[in-house]
Chains A and B, each alone.
Chain A
Amino acid sequence: MVIDLDRCTGCGACMVACAVENNLPTPPVEAQDNRGLTWLRVYQCGNGRTFPDFKTVFIPVPCMQCDHAPCIHVCPVTAVDYDTETGIVGQIPERCMGCRYCMAACPYHARTFNWWDPVWPKGMEKSLNPDVSPRMRGTAEKCNFCHGRLHRAREKAASEGRRDLNPGEYIPACVEACPTRAIHFGDLQDSEDPVAKLSKSPHAFRLLESLRTFPKVFYLSRQDWVKDVGKSRLEMLRKDIYRDSESESNG
């Protein structure tokens, strides 16, 4: 996946599409802010300057699907699964015992914990995606590049006698929903794939590259300060604009 940060307007369509596709419930009202389930989260970060030199970037952060995923190594019950064919890091809720080691290990804060039973307003379970099972409380959850869609695409290909998927036949919900086409999805292993080419662009970078987790989600930006945020100042993701826009604020 390649996400063009210069194109992302922070509209949130990707977050909503992800929740609709993967049956993510809303938490009860008494839940603290930020305790809900978000498999994909768009953070709003600043450049650290003051008005009017202040600049904003929106950074969508799904699971990075790392090649060297820390969450896999720390899971005591093998609830995190690495698919060698697709490179997707999967999460198996039936195995997860809720220890949250994986959440502590993930440097991208890409995992969330479902603190509450998944409850929808009366009748709304009729609007759930039949391809994705709701998960009970007490498990860690994360983006899996819309695994249900991958299964559907594979079945369709198989029914047509194909083993390989056609380009664009399988895309995650966030990619489909993005109105500015900021999120690109394809095969990084195929050097002819547009996404593989984008990932090699001089404007491409990965979050916290120095950790050598080798994420499969690349970002594009033509602005150096944005690359700095992504490469070395990821703490800014946690200091988003509406909460802690400046730590020394109470001086």
Chain B
Amino acid sequence: MMSITRRTILKMFGGVAAGSIISPLPWKLIADGTIWTQNWSWMARTLRGPISTKFTTCTLCPEGCGVRVRMVGENPVSVWAQQNHPVSRGTICPIGLGAAQLRFHPARIERAIQRNGSGRGNAWTPIATETAIAETGKILAELRASGKCDGLAVLDLRPGRAISDLYTDFLKLAGGGQYLTIPSGRDLSGTVFKEMADDLAGAPGYDLLHSRMILSFGAPLYDGWTGAGPVPELALRLTGIRAGNPPGVIQVEPNQSPTAAKAGRWLAIKPGTETTLALGLAHVILDEELYNKDAGPAVLDLEDGPQPGFRSYVRHFTPQRVSDITGLAPQVIAQTARDLAHQQPSIAIGAGDAGGGPLGSGEEAAIWGLNCLLNGLGRRGSILTRPALPASVGKDSALKHPWTLEPRSIWDLPDESIHLLIADGANPGFAWPKQLLERKLAPSARIVCLTPFLSGIAEMADLLLPTPAPGEWLEDIPPQILAMKNTYGLAPSINPAPSFALHPGTILANIAIAAGLQPPGASGDEAVERRIQDRIEALYNSGRGGIFDPAATEIKPSNELRDAEELRAILNRGGCWIDQAEPVPVTSFRFFGKEGRMRPAIECVTNGRLELLTVSEKEYPLILMPHGSSGIAGGGAVPPVLTKLHRESNLRPFPAQAQINPATGRKLGLKNRSSGELSTPAGSLQVWILFNESVMPGVVRVATGPDPVSLGDLKSGKGPDILQLCAITERSVRRVSRAALRMI
């Protein structure tokens, strides 16, 4: 019998070790282990079911891009661009690409909730929907009883839709109140144009596609100017970079945004000097007689009349003076003016950006004046004035004119005048200063928000009522502000709304009933349906325009359709009505506006010293400039997949990052990638300092969004709101403020 000794044991282990090297067993164990770890029971399972495609229109922003939705059963799983769509031209933005995720957004509310106690904290308590509606109705009834109906307001962040009509109907039913919106930069630009153009029965639009040269005053042409970013034709200009080529796009802004980075020429002007530059360019064009005397300027008040003429006003803006104010070399100013005049048709565009806010009236007036001088009104490739949308002529039509009344800007209201605010929770896609809205609220004011998500304006509300998410209800898409042509699209429900979501129209009707009013019979989807039908009949009966059908390759004239039902059917399957009417001529264009009303706004910015920069430069040596991308800057819910851009890579900054030029940083004793405190006279915030060569010396640049909540991260809280630090001036303009930055 063999005895087991220490030597035997060692031999055995040695043999095992030696055998293992040439045995496949360890490798097999590793391989099996890896397979096993790919099969945990908690692993996400993808849906199974019939795969289909639906064509529709994106409703995440006002743009109205055509999209193709891939469905598994009743569930949308991805959203792609619809080829040949006349609005988006086969393109789609990153937000639209992630749209299928939105209905599962962590910030989605699945029942009515109310804020705990007073103040704008973050604590919420569930409440029965009926109770929430009854409470709101009671407040409305008290307002009516005390004769304070003007204290009722409905805030519509996306006016012009069929649902917007239900908001105005609700106010009529209540016997008064304010129909409000927060105007975007484009809205303000259009308003200034109408103030300058006499008796204009239409709206201005940029014909970017056919222009040879675009002078953009900070507009994010290549970073979300349209919902889908630049249309492919606009992108063609990007390849004309070779030396000697005239630049297709000239970008005017202090910092190198993505658009400035891609533009053929970037003019890095000092912050807030856009008006001066526009008038300086006009000066060169007039001085060198580079304009066509028989065209555009004929409608502009060039010579003196009751108000000083454009010529005499811009006379003082010599290249040298403009150079002193803007920081650009005189020869650059002169060359830019000559390029604009020679590369016809050319166009100058303003309208601000989503994060930095709108341009002021003075800037917009100067830019419109420059356009007029460039023969840019009513000309292909420049400014096309779209005619009004057709009114109803059908005998069964509920309305004579089915298009919504224009809302009033909330900033024009007296302070503390709102007692009950009912807010529509649509994501406007641009940032706005919440402190300005606070000013408009009476001390005991209540905000009721009809929204699918607890983000954006909903975070300020006292009471939230859940509504369907985008794609879960029928919506329509009216023409975009400053669009080249009138368009109209529909977004039918792609998937059914969950039972907890109430249609905003139904909520309004129930609030009216709770207040003791008698709303009309139809509410919710049915009421919206009727309004949309009115609009479609008006379009069909006008015989105007054409219809794009995803199933066809060409745009078919509307008058070749059998009836309004056929038009409706095409719109329902992702089609788009597009106006072909001729531009409305502008007969007279007054630089200072009707009765000189624009003059103060123009003069306050043409001396190159903005009022808001009069704060002590010693105490606040930097200029704070907020910025952000369209659709993401405003705090509304965006698909969580956008963390790929904002957190999992460094393609786009996020709000806590204060970007500053390295030279400025060193001068102030700051260190790159360190914590800092950014302060303005309005307060201070903790930030992360980042040196960035694309930022102008003396400027600190901070993104307005996306905050963690809007991206779906509810644990981290909202994050810093940089607009709380910004100076608020005329109509919420806040592009530049004095600031200081120190390390902590």
Contact = CB atoms under 8 A, between A and B. Distances in A.
A147 to B, nearest CB: 15
A9 B235 contact: yes
A125 B45 contact: yes
B76 A242 contact: no
A37 B643 CA distance: 10
Given A12-B651, A54-B256, A179-B91, A7 B33 contact: no
Nearest to B94: A16
A232 interface: no
A181 B666 CA distance: 40
Contacts of A144: none
A29 B715 contact: yes
Nearest to A10: B258
B229 A11 contact: yes
B657 interface: yes
A248 to B, nearest CB: 8
Interface stretch (B15-23, B34-42, B476-484): B34-42
A64 to B, nearest CB: 18
B187 interface: no
Interface in A219-250: 222-223, 240-246, 249-250
A127 B650 contact: no
Contacts of B642: 12, 16
Most-contacted residue by chain B among A125, A135, A242, A244 (CB, 10 A):
A242
A19 B695 CA distance: 30
B332 to A, nearest CB: 11
A17 interface: yes
Contacts of B713: 29
Interface stretch (A65-73, A91-99, A188-196, A207-215): A91-99
A136 B644 CA distance: 19
A121 B107 CA distance: 10
B398 interface: no
Contacts of A150: none
Contacts of A49: 693
B246 interface: no
B648 interface: yes
Interface string B550-565: 0000000000000000
Contact of A179 (B76, B104, B228, B715): B228
Given A177-B80, A242-B692, A12 B38 contact: no
Contact of A126 (B91, B93, B104): B104
Contacts of A182: 235
A36 interface: yes
Contact of B641 (A19, A56, A118): A19
A242 B97 CA distance: 24
Contacts of A80: none
Contacts of A180: 222, 229-230, 232, 235, 238
Interface stretch (B46-54, B160-168, B539-547, B677-685): B46-54
Interface string B640-661: 1111110111111100010101
A162 to B, nearest CB: 21
A242 B659 contact: yes
Interface in A17-58: 17, 19-21, 23-24, 26-27, 29, 33-38, 41-44, 46, 49-52, 54-58
Interface string B251-266: 0000010110110001
Most-contacted residue by chain A among B47, B259, B650 (CB, 10 A):
B650
B171 to A, nearest CB: 36
Contact of B30 (A42, A77, A93, A123): A77
A103 interface: no
B694 A129 contact: no
Nearest to B674: A250
B75 interface: yes
Interface in B610-657: 639-645, 647-653, 657
Most-contacted residue by chain B among A6, A26, A35, A136 (CB, 10 A):
A26
A179 B88 CA distance: 9
Most-contacted residue by chain A among B47, B106, B235 (CB, 10 A):
B235
B643 A26 contact: yes
Interface string A82-110: 00000000000111111000000000000
Nearest to A54: B693
A37 B644 CA distance: 8
Contacts of B696: 51-52
Contacts of A29: 708, 713, 715-716
B194 interface: no
Nearest to A125: B44
Contacts of B721: none
Interface in B370-415: none
A117 B38 CA distance: 10
Most-contacted residue by chain A among B33, B238, B671 (CB, 10 A):
B238
Contact of A55 (B93, B261, B697, B715): B261
Interface in A166-214: 176-177, 179-182
A182 B223 CA distance: 15
B506 interface: no
Interface residues of A, number: 85
Given A16-B641, A182-B235, A120 B44 contact: yes
Given A51-B693, A56-B694, A136 B40 contact: yes
A157 interface: no
A4 to B, nearest CB: 7
Most-contacted residue by chain B among A36, A51, A77, A94 (CB, 10 A):
A51
B30 A24 contact: no
A225 B676 CA distance: 34
B586 interface: no
B637 to A, nearest CB: 11
Given A46-B694, A54-B693, A20 B46 contact: no
A27 B98 CA distance: 16
Most-contacted residue by chain B among A12, A176, A177 (CB, 10 A):
A12
Given A51-B268, A51-B694, A93 B641 contact: no
A49 B80 CA distance: 38
A128 interface: yes
B97 A77 contact: no
A12 B239 contact: no
A41 B259 CA distance: 19
Contacts of A34: 648-650
A208 to B, nearest CB: 20
Contacts of A136: 37-40, 43
A40 B217 CA distance: 32
B241 interface: yes
A9 B648 contact: no
B32 to A, nearest CB: 10
Given A29-B713, A77-B30, A242-B692, A37 B648 contact: yes
23 contacts: A11-B94, A13-B97, A20-B78, A27-B643, A29-B715, A34-B649, A36-B648, A38-B648, A44-B650, A51-B268, A51-B661, A52-B268, A58-B261, A94-B35, A95-B34, A126-B104, A129-B78, A135-B38, A181-B232, A242-B657, A245-B691, A245-B692, A249-B671
Given A17-B80, A241-B693, 15 more contacts: A20-B78, A26-B640, A34-B648, A51-B256, A121-B712, A125-B45, A127-B101, A127-B103, A130-B48, A130-B72, A136-B43, A179-B91, A179-B228, A180-B232, A240-B650
Interface of B: 27, 30-31, 33-35, 37-40, 42-48, 51, 72, 75-78, 80-81, 91-94, 97-98, 100-101, 103-106, 222-224, 228-232, 235, 238-239, 241-242, 256, 258-259, 261-262, 266, 268, 639-645, 647-653, 657, 659, 661-663, 665-666, 671-673, 690-697, 708, 712-713, 715-716
7 closest A-B pairs (Cβ-Cβ)? Answer: A36-B648, A180-B235, A179-B91, A56-B261, A249-B672, A124-B104, A9-B222
